[in-house]
Amino acid sequence: MDAARGKRGVIIEGMSASATATPLRIAVVGSGRVGPVLAAAFRQVGHQIVGITARHDAAIDRVSAVLPDVPVRELADIAQGADLILLAVSDDALADIARELPVEPGQLVAHTSGAHGLQILEPLAARGALVFALHPAMTFSGTSLDIARLQDCAFAVTANPAVLPIAHALVADLGGNPVTIANADRPAYHAALSHAANHTVTLIAQARRLLTAIGQVDPGATLKALVRTAVEGALRAGDSALTGPVMRGDAGTIRAHLAALADIGEGDIEASYRALALTTAERCYDRDVLSDDQLADLTGVLLPPTEVVTTKAELRAALAIRPGRRAVVMTMGALHEGHLSLVRRAKELADVVVVTDFVNPLQFAPDEDFDSYPRDLKGDVELLRGEGVDVVFAPSIEEMYPREPLVRIDPGPVAQLFEGVTRPTHFAGVVQVVTKLLNLTQPDVAIFGEKDAQQLALIRTLVADLDIPVRIVGAPIARDDDGVARSSRNAYLSTEERGHARALVAALDAAEQAAATGDASSPAQLADIAERALADAPGVRVDYVAAVDASTYLPADAATREIILALAAFVGPTRLIDNRRIELEAKEDS
């Protein structure tokens, strides 16, 4: 093959950057808005259009209007006699076209997708085609009016070095400006264009709706000059072109805007306004346009009181716009005053409070109450709103566990004791979900209730052993007026059983009293007193009573002075737990 030419006579090396050396025979796959216009533009500058695909009547009519006398061909025949095959189809259709299109070695094949680079054309390259990407950065109407708009239009070109001059020359033929985009940068390039163009349409459409809602007959005319000036300024100067109340730190005006949006009742517009205003405020702060106090005032106005998210992506987005020290409270929902006490402690320790609301299937055995465990997300959210929680993460099981976890965390020997005897798989499920939620929420501090004392001890060990950078804080047990520890499972109790449940706290009271009076001087004696008190209580069946070392949660020995007296019992069919930290007097040396 000639060193300067491909098989079909197209110059590959040394080609002029301003125009192709010889006219090309071009075939077009796709008869939407883009393909016929580019074909017509190429034909105007001397290239020959040898065929185009069109499947529907509307497509055939468009081809006839823009490309009279160009034959319509099937995909199987489109490449015959062509130097260049231009694939102007949807992003989703490209992969199938690349597999099915018959090509000869040396034929040029280009796609016009902004999202894809060269990988999508790999099947064609493997068959000897010279492939490249050629994306015009403009929107198309699908009419001949678009041809003039190609002048000075940026074209994103991605190609291997040998093919790059051809792609640049083709753009020059159309009067466009070639912009070389690396293959790996193609997604970021397309994201930038989509964000600027598509989302601008959304914003302007929302602004039109607002103006229509207040009686404006021609909202487009009202916006035209302002939007044009803003876009031209942003294209010319970027952030420096910004004006308006956010840049001035005018929190009062922003508050009035939000009130007006709430009154009109366009919820999607309010959400967009909040998100973009927050981003704008952060950009202004980074450029030293806003002070710390101004940013804090704006953030306080713009952040929604409580945002409920259900996916990991939504969680990341919600956390990204909430700077400051972060605390997480992990729950399984069915919230009560005990959970809310954890939330209040979290608010004391952090600027941003995240509450997770997820009934974790991994910590339930097959014969346990996973299906019947109380759930009330709507009620939970109302309670958390009342406490000023910033983010509620309420994922589905499929979101948390897209598949059965292949990597499992071993909770260690403490997990086999006490609660682990009755529920041998429970703590493995707990540490699995806690680790995932710590990774997802990235908190500075995590608050756990001391009622689940064994769980708290295991989580502290987990965080220490795996070097997870979070402070674990235990919050005191919340109790009802009768002393019973608050628990979601209390909802299972009948009125009579609720009275029997008082026996658990009474047993702990008896043991603590014995320690205070000296009637019990060892961990074993404390456990014996509590167990006998439970055994004598009506309607209660003892599961276990244990005195454990408060620092390790291993069984306390005779020398242990700081203990946790933990117990579990069935009240009717409902299993309840409780505990008390008790300090025994130090033994005197004999």
* Residue 333 in marked binding region: yes
* Residue 474 in marked binding region: no
Q: Token pair for residue 245?
A: 């109340």
Is residue 408 helix, strand or coil? coil
Yes or no: say if 360 and 433 are a contact pair by the CB < 8 Å rule.
yes
* Residue 258 in marked binding region: no
Residue 348 CA, chain-centre distance (Å), reads 27
* Residue 332 in marked binding region: yes
Q: Token pair for residue 129?
A: 């085609």
Yes or no: say if 435 and 401 are a contact pair by the CB < 8 Å rule.
no
* Residue 324 in marked binding region: no
Residue with tokens 């997770």: 356
Give the span between the Cα atoms of 198 and 481, in whole angstroms: 58
* Residue 119 in marked binding region: no
* Residue 531 in marked binding region: no
* Residue 488 in marked binding region: yes
Residue with tokens 């972060």: 326
* Residue 81 in marked binding region: no
Q: Token pair for residue 257?
A: 């805007």
Is residue 477 helix, strand or coil? coil
* Residue 489 in marked binding region: yes
CA distances from 334 to 394, 440, 485, 492 (A): 12, 22, 15, 12
Catalytic hit among 47, 257, 339, 500: 339
Yes or no: say if 115 and 137 are a contact pair by the CB < 8 Å rule.
no
Size of the chain, expressed as the number of residues it contains: 590
* Residue 487 in marked binding region: yes
Query: Is 47 marked active-site?
Result: no
* Residue 330 in marked binding region: no
* Residue 344 in marked binding region: no
Give the span between the Cα atoms of 279 and 502, in whole angstroms: 53
Yes or no: say if 38 and 136 are a contact pair by the CB < 8 Å rule.
yes
* Residue 336 in marked binding region: yes
* Residue 334 in marked binding region: yes
Give, to the nearest 10 degrees, the angle between helix 312-320 and helix 426-441.
40
Q: Which among 409, 421, 399, 408 is positioned nearest to 458, based on CA atoms?
A: 409
Q: Token pair for residue 494?
A: 């009948």
* Residue 426 in marked binding region: no
* Residue 114 in marked binding region: no
Which residues are known to be catalytic?
339
Q: Provide the annotated binding site for (R)-pantoate.
A: 363, 455
Q: Provide the annotated binding site.
A: 332-339, 363, 449-452, 455, 478, 486-489
Q: Provide the annotated binding site for beta-alanine.
A: 363
Q: Provide the annotated binding site for ATP.
A: 332-339, 449-452, 478, 486-489
